[in-house]
Structures are given as structure tokens and as C-alpha cells.
Amino acid sequence: MPDIDSDFLALPLRELADTALQRARDLGAEHADFRLERVRGQYLVLADGAVETAADSDTLGFAVRVVHNGVWGFAAGDDLGANTSAPNHDAVAAVAEQAVQVAKVAAAITTERIELAPEPAHPNATWVSAYETDPFSVPVGEKSALLTDWSRRLLDDSRVDHVDITLFQAKEQKFYADTTGTSTTQQRVRVAPVAEVVATREGKLDSMRTLAPPAGRGWEYLPTVESELAELPELLAEKLAAPGVEPGAYDLVIHPSNLWLAIHESIGHATELDRALGYEAAYAGTSFATVDNLGSLQYGSPIMNVTGDRTVEHGLASIGYDDEGVATTSFDLIRDGVLVGYQRDRRISRLRGYESSNGCAYADSPATMPIQRMANVSLSPAPGGPSTEDLISGVERGIYIEGDRSWSIDMQRYNFQFTGQRFYRIENGRLSGMLRDVAYQASTTDFWNSMTAVGGPQTYVLGGSFMCGKGQPGQVASVSHGCPTARFSGVRILNTVQEAGQ
Amino acid sequence: MNLSSPQEIVERALELSRADGCMVLVREASTANLRWAGNSLTTNGVTRGREVTVIALTESAKGTSVGVTARSGLRGDDLADLVRAAETASRDAAPSEDARPLLGPESAGTGDTWDAPPATTSISVFSEFAPGLGRAFERRGAAGHLLYGYAEHSVTSTFLGSSTGLRLRHDQPSGTVDLNAKSAPPETGGGHSIWVGQATRDFTDIDVDGLDAELTRRMRWGARTVELPAGRYETLLPPAAVADMMISLYQSAGARDAAEGRTVFSAADGGTRVGERLSELPLSLRSDPAEPGLECAPFVLASTPGREITAFDNGLPLRRTDWISDGRLAALRQTRHSAELTGLPVTAHTDNLVLEQPDATGTLDDMIAGTERGLLLTCLWYIRPVDPQTLLLTGLTRDGVYLVEDGEVSGAVNNFRFNESPVSLLERVTETGATVPGLSRESGDYFPRTAMPPMRVPDFNMSTVSQAS
């Protein structure tokens, strides 16, 4: 297990926190928290084997959030002082003052008093995610050489016109302290490598990319993607030569590399309590899964069980303590097909009378205020359940889908449309060649209630999104979604070429 | 070392550089925001930050390689570390395909005053807006409605210096306001939902009472509800919805991708479709840094090498560019590198967008009055590309779809999922009105500077009904 980097620990974390929290207390704040954070990012892009972008970012700053006379105030800054031995207490105190000032200005048009669900103090807590090799410890030249080699191998195949390789890497280090006595220091890394091949043949353009999802892992994850490269040219050629799908209703068998996306959009966001209560109404939207439905909404078929979990190993949203100092946990969202829970932060939990938060607060940078963000939301496999082949064998006429591509869902999370990477016709329980131009469209509860089987643990994959947007000002979060392969009946399939009127 | 000003950081970083070439960008950004829900402010904040980006170039027999490092929260002698890190990265990197000689002062654009301190904003930018918002809360509350929304103002001062002598600076104010009203609480389904939005440079032109009056008008339109099935409808798109579609088109208009056969702007026999007619109407789609009210950086500002915007072009002057002229595709977004590949002029990405039909003067209300039966959208949402070859997009209507009958709005219609291509829309559009500022609902938070006309499309593809309200 890696340790938290010594250069982060050498920052005057506790000293600056004490300054900020004391200043906020002196100005009458009933709650204050201080977050000092360093976020490193590295983005590599190769186009046809040539490095197009290689950029490093390193963001270091701090934020103070207060509740003052029942009103939020938030301010952020990045003046930490000339060096570690001379921290800039004045700048930190000034940001605390700004946060209180903002709360005072906002008080004139605030009618809802801010209260937070209680949380026990967690003094001096630490947490580090599970990885072997810090991706930032690997020289850029070594990375570029590896990705260039991938590109060359793919470009050497005459069925490939272009190769795009992208590699995102991120490392978060957070120190949090609040006026209840909690202080946490945490570190985690994540990587998202993708290789995509593109070709045009006989007037048709298409692409094919790797299925390995982004992961809360280190550099040791790269071979997972590399193992997929050899099959990409053949898959692309088959897709370009495939017939367009005939629109209509089909039974679907959906691999986790595609199904994670349906979970993210139609369950993950729909079971965020802030949405259900309207706190994202003007931007990302609300949710059909309103609070009056809790405990009664038949969200999906009785074989459907979904959890929120910020503790799963290698999860992109996994962490020990959230950005409000709440110890993270695992919790039920859907049990036996029925809506039984929501994802919540401290403020939103208190609004609905919950005794505690379930640890879903997150801020994507030192300059942003924590908002309620998604836990790793996952569909449970069936113990002893079927393999993917078994699921396919039970379909007379259908489509097997792998990989994600386009996605869209309405602002209450009813109507969605997804595409994918690979679509195979199923005839009499067997795969019988690829199809192209496929999109599937459904309403959330219709779709999940049409789920007739879920695969066993051997089909389970932890997929996910590296960049999920929410909030105003906009924030980006990474989140994992585990699921088995699953089977659905009678789902509407569109032909995207026909939809374009071609 | 005292690094109190961004100008000092630029100069010091360039002095420290030992690379074959170097660019330094310092971005000083301040923001202020208010967010509200259910007729009450929910969150608010101010931020201030400085980001320093060093772009180091290393020349070798194989070409020019580049290393980019960016840091915020820079402290004291961190600057030397930052410069060395960029240099190390550039030595490690493979040569960049889009590398071109850096511009010098003689060939670069001109900017704002170099020596002036960074421009800033603060929570006081809302001093007139916030009381207006409070009045809107009261009016909505009295009407039994709930108001949701967000206001943000930011000012970013960017300082660009290079080892070839560039010293360019640009101050960019940006602001947006979203007002979303609902006739019932979202936790019970939300009732009828409506939205208005506006971009601004300084909030002095935001008339909250006027925006709220428009909400009242639309709420009245929703008094009667009509269920309609999916299908192709004559549809009126307001400027905000046209902005949604045109921003998607602009983002897909990269010259290099087109030349490689990868987009809707690729010619069937190779090359690009530049010169082809896209619309029977004499439409122009343009960007111009000097566009009144939509002013943006008059030269390229980029932190990294890239396919469609590249740091190698930093400082390149930007002037009015017609992307579509008199209905024909006139240009695609180019770097100097892609311009050489395509043999077309350099027409670099510019941070605003205007669609206009020179002789069109009507308003959206005029177009409603001239409609026998059709749909009126207010805004679009969750727009994603489905097929690059046709630029087919999918997305949804949101916060107000209305039925127009005999020249008047006759009721609110359910929402729809659409599958449409903006390029196909330009082919089929039969009427546009006068161009006015219009804030994209989907992309306005990062691309707020747009002016668009309302547009009539005879057969907009509403693919399915959405139950969202």
C-alpha cells in the first residue's frame, strides 16, 4: 500500500487550517471547514503515432466554507506563502473572512436555513487508495514510447486508417479539517487509457475502441488495455462491412462495458437526493424518483439490486472520508427492484430528516464548493448466476452489445438513448455477425423492469466514467459502476442512419 | 524573489528558460457566483486564482518536441521548478507534428495593455442583480411558483510571453444567468417548467424583472397542455436552441479531421467540403473578436499543442472569419499546421459565433404569428453526437415546448427526444429572423458568446416522447 507523498504532508496543513477555522469562528460562523488540496493531472494524446498533446497540470489551493447565521459562504484562494516554513496565514484568514462576507451578502435573499446532518469527529484520519505504481512516477518519455508503440502496431494493419490514443491520469491529495474536530488526509490516483482505430471504406466511416474502463489504479493498469489491441482492426473491418440494423423491438444482452452507462445515467443520477428535491433543477435536472416514491417505486424487475458504495477497491469514487469529513460507506439504493435509498450529503440528508449523511460530498478542485456527487453505483450479480454465453443462448432474436459510445437522457431521467461499440445479431441463441448504426432507446423504469436475467459474478466488471459533470459552477467527478452482463426483453432499437434521414 | 504580478512571472520564467524556445501563459481568474433553488439562495461563492503554464520547446534532428506544465498555487521558487519540469518533459517527448516557428511581435495580434494589473470581479457585481432576484423570488412565491437558477461572473486576464518577444495580454469578462421556474416542487414532479437565460459581460444589462416577465408569459402559455406523439413537426427554434445546434456544428468543424475523412465536412472523394452549398438561404456563420457585445480574444491563446487549437499558434491574430458565407461552407477551424495539410487559409478557432441572414428582420413572435400549426421549442438539452459522418446529434427538448396554432401559442406540449443534424437543419431551414444574442442552454457555461436568429424548420425529427416535465 503506498503512502501519502511526503511533499504534501510537508505543507503547513494543520497550521493553515487552524488559522482559517479560528478566523471563521471569530467572525461568528456556526460551522466552518477548511480544505487544502493538490490535484495533479496529465493528459497525453497521440494521433497516428505522433504526440499531439502532452500536458501536466498541478493545482494547489485551499477553500473555506462556512455556515454563518444559517447561510452558506464559500471562498477559495491559492496564496500559500513563499515556502513551507513561511505559510501565508494572512491570506488564509482573508479567505475565511471572504467566506463569511459572502454569507452575509447572501443572507438578504436566503430563506432556507442551512443545517448539516451530524457526523462524529474523525481526528487525524488518513486514507490512501489501492494502487501499485503512481502514474506520475513514470517518466513521460516512457509513457510516450509505450503509446507510440501501440499506435504503430495498429497503423501497421492495412484495415486501419487512423489511430487515436488518449491517456488521462490524475492524482488527488486532500487535507480537510472542520470545527467539529475532524481532520483527514487522503490520496488517490486514477487512470483512463483508450485506444481507438478509425477507417472509411466504401463511403462508410466508423471507429472501434478498447473496452477497458477507467480505473482507480496506477500505471500497472496499462497492460489491461494493451491486451485488447490486437483484435481492434478485425473488429473494425467487420463493423464497416456489417449491415445496418433493422429498427424494431429486440431482446438485448448487454455486456458490462455498455451497461455501466445505463446504470450511471438512469440510476446513478436519478437516485441523487439533491436532484429529487430540486437542487439541480435549473441545470442538470431533477429526478422522476421523487421522495414520495421511496419504498414503493418498482424501479426494475425483482432481480435488480443496486448499491451505492464509496469503499470498493479501485472505485473511481472510492475514498475514506468525503469532502465534508463523513466516513464513507456502502448502502442500498434499489432492493428487489424497489427504490429504497438515495445518495446524500450532510445538508441534503438533514433536509429529509436522515440521521446522517452517506458520504457523497465531493469538490473537484480546491476552488470549488463540495456538492452532492455520485458514489460508485453498481448492479449486483446473481450468486451462481449465468455466464454471458448462457444469457445469449436464451435469446431467439436479439442483439448483444459491448462498449459505450453515445449517451443522452432527459432532465428527469426517464428517456434515454445509448449507442455502443460492438453490436452482434443474436439468432436462436447464437451470435451471427455484427450489425451497425444501432441505438437503443427506452424509458428508465420500462427498461429496468424488462430485465429478465442478470449474470453471475464471473461476468461482473467494474466500469465507469472518468468525467461526469454536475453542478453550477460546473464540476467534474470520476465514478465507477460495477455490473454483470444482463438480459432485457423488447427494447426499442433505432437505425441511426435512418434517424439522420439518409 | 517577489512574484507579485503576472507580468513579473512571465519575465522571470522566460529568463529562467534554457530551452530552445519557450512560451509562458499566466491566467489570473476571479469569479463570483450565486445559485438558488425553491425561491431561496442555496450556494454562493467567490474564488481567485493564478495558473502559470510553461511551454518548453526542444529542437532536434527529428523535429521540435514540446513539454507543457501548468501549476496554480505557485510558491516562491516553485517557478524555477516549473520551468525545469517543462524542459524535462520537452526533452522526453517525441517531436510534435504541428510544430511551427513561434510567432514574433511583428506577426502577432495586439492585445490589451500589458502593464495594467489583472482585471477582477467580486461578489459586488451582483449588487443590482441580487435585489432583483429577491423581487423575483417574492413574485414567484406569490404566484405559487418556484424559481431555480444560477448567476456567474468571471474575469480572466491572460498574459502571454514568448522567447520570440511576444508580450500579449487579454482581459475576458464573462457572465451568464439562468432562470428556471416551476409551477410545482420538483419533489412532486415539478409541474410546468420554463427557462430563460442571458449572457452578459458585467451584469449591468441584466434586467431581472424583464426576464421574470418572460417567465410569466411562458407560464401562461402552459395553462393548457397538449399531448403529441413523436414525429416530424414544423418547428420554431428560438436563438438559444439555434445556438445549441450551431455550437455543435462549430465544434465539429475541425479542418484536419475533415481532411482525414472523419467528419460531416469531409468530401466524398477526399479533402474537405469547403465551397459546397450547405443552405439554400443566404446564411452566414461567423466569428469576429470585435463583434459588439461578444468581444473575445483577438489572438490565439492556447496552453497546449492540439489538433484544432495549438500553442504553437499563440499570438496569431484573429479577425472576422466566415465559416459559412451566403449559404456555402467557407472555412473550417485551422491551425497553421492543418492549413498546410489542407491547402486552405489559416482560420483559427475564435471564441464567439454569430449566425445571420442579412435580409432577415422578423422576431420569434413574428414567426409565431406566421405559423399555422407547429411546435415552438424554448431550449435543448443533453445533446450528444451519435454519428460523425452525418453529425447526427441526439438530445431533448426541455423547459417548455409549445403548440402554435393559427398564429398563436395554444398550449404546452410534452417533451421529446430529437435526432437531428445541424448540417441537415441548415439544408432544410425555410425561414430565419433577425439575429439577437442567444445563450445556449447546453454549452453556454463555456461558450456564452453567441448571437443567433430564430429559425423555422419544416420537419424537425422528434424521435420519441420524453415523460420529463
pLDDT per residue over A76-86, tens digit each?
A: 998 888 777 77
Chain A residue at shortest CA distance from B398: A411
Tally A–B CB contacts below 8 A.
308
Which superfamily does A6-230 belong to?
A: PmbA/TldD superfamily (3.30.2290.10)
- The tens place of each residue's pLDDT in chain B, 469 residues long, gives 446 899 999 999 999 999 999 999 999 999 999 999 999 999 888 888 899 999 999 999 989 999 999 998 887 778 999 999 999 989 888 888 889 999 999 999 999 999 999 999 999 999 999 999 999 999 999 999 999 999 999 999 999 999 999 999 999 999 999 999 999 988 887 889 999 999 999 999 999 999 999 999 999 999 999 999 999 999 999 999 999 999 999 999 999 999 999 999 999 888 999 999 999 999 999 999 999 999 999 999 999 998 999 999 999 999 999 999 999 999 999 999 999 999 999 999 999 999 999 999 999 999 999 999 999 999 999 999 999 999 999 999 999 999 999 999 999 999 999 999 999 999 999 999 999 999 999 999 999 999 999 999 999 999 999 999 8
Parallel, antiparallel or unpaired: strands A486-495 and A125-128? unpaired
Which H or E run contains B198? strand B193-200
Answer yes or no: do A54 and B189 touch at CB < 8 A: no
pLDDT per residue over A235-271, tens digit each?
A: 999 999 999 999 999 999 999 999 999 999 999 999 9
Q: What is the ipTM of this complex?
A: 0.94
Answer yes or no: do A500 and B65 touch at CB < 8 A: no
- Check: CB of residue B35 under 8 Å from CB of residue B41: yes
Tell whether A288 is within 8 A of chain B (Cβ).
yes
The CA distance from B347 to the nearest CA of chain A, in Å, is 19
Q: Amino acid identity of A254?
A: I
Tell whether B308 is within 8 A of chain A (Cβ).
no
pLDDT at B1: 41
pLDDT per residue over A22-49, tens digit each?
A: 999 999 999 999 999 999 999 999 999 9
Arithmetic mean of pLDDT, A362-368: 95
Q: Hey, of B46, B309, B379, B446, which one would you mutate to test binding to chain A, going by the most A CBs within 10 A of its CB? A: B46
Domain boundaries, chain A: 6-230, 248-501
Tell whether B43 is within 8 A of chain A (Cβ).
yes
Q: Which residues of A touch B65 (CB under 8 A)?
A: 51
Question: What is the CATH code of the structural domain delimited by B6-221?
Answer: 3.30.2290.10
pLDDT per residue over A366-412, tens digit each?
A: 999 999 999 999 999 999 999 999 999 999 999 999 999 999 999 99
Q: Which residues of A touch B424 (CB under 8 A)?
A: 500-501
**Of the listed ranges A49-53, A202-206, B167-171, the one predicted with least confidence:** A49-53
Q: Hey, of A37, A42, A48, A56, which one would you mutate to test binding to chain B, going by the most B CBs within 10 A of its CB? A: A56
Q: How many helices (H) and strands (E) does chain B have?
A: 9, 20
Q: Which of A61, A408, A499 sits opposite B382 (nearest CB)?
A: A408
Q: Which of residues 336-365 of A touch B (CB under 8 A)?
A: none
Q: Which residues pair with A398 in a beta bridge?
A: A251, A426
Q: Which of residues 403-422 of B touch A (CB under 8 A)?
A: 415, 417, 419, 421
Q: Residue B101: left if φ>0, alpha if ψ -120 to 50, beta else—which one?
A: beta
Chain A residue at shortest CA distance from B89: A140
Q: Which residues of A touch B146 (CB under 8 A)?
A: 278
Q: Which of residues 350-389 of B touch A (CB under 8 A)?
A: 381-389
- Angle formed by the axes of helices A140-155 and B78-92, nearest 10°: 30
**Helix/strand/coil (H, E, C) string of A456-479?**
CHHHCEEEEEEEEEECCCCEEEEE
Tell whether B449 is within 8 A of chain A (Cβ).
no
pLDDT at B3: 61
Q: Which residues pair with B235 in a beta bridge?
A: B375, B457
Parallel, antiparallel or unpaired: strands B408-413 and B392-405? antiparallel
Exposure pattern of A238-271 as b/e (b: 16+ CB <10 Å)? bbbebeebebeebbbbbbbbbbbbbbbbbbbbbb
pLDDT at A339: 98
Q: Which of B45, B69, B392 sits opposite A499 (nearest CB)?
A: B392
Domain boundaries, chain B: 6-221, 224-469
| pTM reported for the whole predicted model | 0.96
- Check: CB of residue A48 under 8 Å from CB of residue A151: yes
